[in-house]
Chain A
Amino acid sequence: MRKEIPLLITFLAGAFFIADYFIPHTGFSSWAETLNGWTIIVIAFAYVLGVANVARVNLDYIQRKGKDTPYKIILLVCLLFMMMVGIIWGIGEHTVFDWFFINIYSPMQAMMFALLAFYIASAAFRAFRIRSVQASLLAITAVLVMIGRVPIGEAIWKDFSNFSEWIMNVPQLAGKRAILIGAALGAISTGLKVLVGLERTHLGQD
Chain B
Amino acid sequence: MRKFLEIINTLDRRWIFVFIGLAVSLPLFFPIGIKFSVSHPVQGFYDTIEKIPDGSKILMSCDFDPGSMPELYPMTITALEQMFRKDLKVIITCLWPAGPPLVERALAHVGAEYNKQKGIDYVHLGFKEGKEVVMVSMGASIPNTFPTDYHGTPVSEIPIMQGVTNYREVAMIVNISAGYPGTKEWVQQVQSRYQIGLVAGCTAVSAPEFYPYYQTGQLKGLMGGMKGAAEYEKLVGVMGLGTRGMDAQSVSHLMVFAFILIGNLAYFTLKFMKRKESG
Contact = CB atoms under 8 A, between A and B. Distances in A.
A165 B215 contact: no
Contacts of A102: 101
Contacts of B257: 143, 146-147
Interface in A127-149: 128-130, 139, 142-143, 146-147, 149
A91 B145 CA distance: 21
Interface in B124-159: 128-130, 133-134, 136-137, 140-141, 144-145, 151
Given A149-B227, A150-B249, A161-B39, A169 B215 contact: yes
Interface residues of B, number: 63
Contacts of B36: 150-151, 154, 161
A105 B144 CA distance: 31
A172 B133 contact: no
B137 A147 contact: no
Given A101-B101, A109-B67, A154 B264 contact: no
B264 A130 contact: yes
B68 interface: yes
Interface in B19-70: 19-21, 24, 34-37, 39-40, 65-70
A121 B257 CA distance: 9
Given A129-B263, A173-B211, A40 B133 contact: yes
Given A118-B17, A118-B21, A93 B256 contact: no
B259 interface: yes
B259 A152 contact: no
A32 interface: yes
B200 to A, nearest CB: 15
A97 B234 CA distance: 35
A98 to B, nearest CB: 6
Nearest to A30: B140
A98 B105 CA distance: 11
Q: Is chain B's binding surface mostly helix, strand, loop or mixed?
A: helix
B203 to A, nearest CB: 9
B185 interface: no
A173 B133 contact: no
B4 to A, nearest CB: 16
The 5 closest A-B pairs by CB, nearest first: A106-B66, A151-B36, A152-B250, A33-B140, A151-B34
Interface of A: 21, 29-30, 32-33, 36-37, 39-40, 43-44, 46-47, 91-93, 98, 101-102, 105-107, 109-110, 112-113, 117-118, 120-122, 124-126, 128-130, 139, 142-143, 146-147, 149-152, 154-155, 161, 165, 168-169, 172-173, 176-177, 180
Interface of B: 11, 13, 16-17, 19-21, 24, 34-37, 39-40, 65-70, 98, 101, 104-105, 108, 128-130, 133-134, 136-137, 140-141, 144-145, 151, 193, 204, 208-209, 211-212, 215, 227, 230, 246-247, 249-257, 259-260, 263-264, 267-268
